[in-house]
Amino acid sequence: MLKVSEFFKRSDSSYCIKDETIVSMLKDPASPVGLVCQLLPTGAKVLDVGAGSGVLARALQLSRKKVYLDGIEPNTYAADLARKFYDNFYVGFAADCIEQTSAVDYDYIVLLDVVEHTVDSDVFLRDLCDAVGERVKFIISMPNVAFGAVRLSLLHGHFRYVDSGLLEKTHLRFFTKEMCLSLFQAVGLKVKTIHQMQRSFYRTEIKRVEQSRALLQVLRLSYNRTARSYQYVFELESVASNVTTVGPLEEEVNMFDHGVSGFVVLMDWLLGPLYDYLSTHGLLKRFFDGLKGLLLGRG
């Protein structure tokens, strides 16, 4: 029988992340890492599940946010890179390590792009909720398979797996916002806030040439908040076991948009190829580097 660990394989090099990349995440309004650094209060006790090589811990240090931080990571190479940035670090899958963390009364459990890598997402989250108790709050980021670039590439006949991104080779599950809400409802998590992390369709790992350029489709998707959402960050809390109705309707949830507007996406569709061409030429490069911040939602 295939072991769980054999489903999830990434190259060691993918865990080697430079400090300047993390600084860029902190400046990027559509980055879940930067948002989580803002959401966690100073002094909070946090468990980072699926910590990787310690990106969240390093981002918290660079942003000078002081929290008590433990981590869990199954990849031994990544764990060796991450360990020094955490108060305590556990190597293994969450189900195998969670009992070792029981001595700490955590305020937050953070899962940054973790759930889509699990074999059975319902069981994984339910077991985690049962292990940490009802007082703990969750912050969970999830990729959105209904992102506009994915839709446009499918219209053009493309679906390409990548090493890192929405269609990552190691993803076992794909989620839309509605599927995320249904999952949380099933495991007894109440969504308090949804952060929609919005990007231009043409500034991700999905290549421009793979996407349909049909004007009406691009126009419709550019002004669709769900289509602009590359990822979601959910703030959740556990619901008492004696409550029979959980998982609020979407209109009952606080929702915030981070990143680019529909106008920026549309302008990127129209002028992006010209920008990409001219930005590589000498004297114009500095001017277009400034425009790049706008296209990425930083201006």
Domains of the chain: 4-260 (3.40.50.150)
DSSP state of 45: E
pLDDT computed for residue 133 by the predictor: 81
For the record, the structure tokens of 188 come out as 């007894």
CA distance 39 to 182: 24
Q: pTM of the predicted model, to two decimals?
A: 0.87
pLDDT computed for residue 78 by the predictor: 92
175-184, 241-250, 269-278, 285-294 — which is least confidently predicted?
241-250
pLDDT tops 80 at residue 111: yes
Question: For residue 202, which of 141, 276, 146, 256 has the smallest C-alpha distance?
Answer: 276
pLDDT tops 60 at residue 7: no
Angle, alpha carbons 134-139-144 (nearest 5°): 130
pLDDT tops 60 at residue 4: no
Task: Give mean pLDDT, residues 217-222.
Answer: 95
Confidence class for position 291, pLDDT limits 50, 70, 90: low
Angle between helices 19-27 and 32-39 (to 10 degrees): 70
- Which is more confident, 144 or 286? 144
pLDDT tops 90 at residue 125: yes
For the record, the structure tokens of 176 come out as 């839309």
Task: Give mean pLDDT, residues 217-241.
Answer: 92
Let me know: does 113 contact 139? Beta carbons within 8 Å.
Answer: no
CA distance 151 to 94: 33
CA distance 165 to 144: 10
How many residues does this entry show for the chain? 299
pLDDT computed for residue 278 by the predictor: 72
Task: Give mean pLDDT, residues 3-12.
Answer: 55
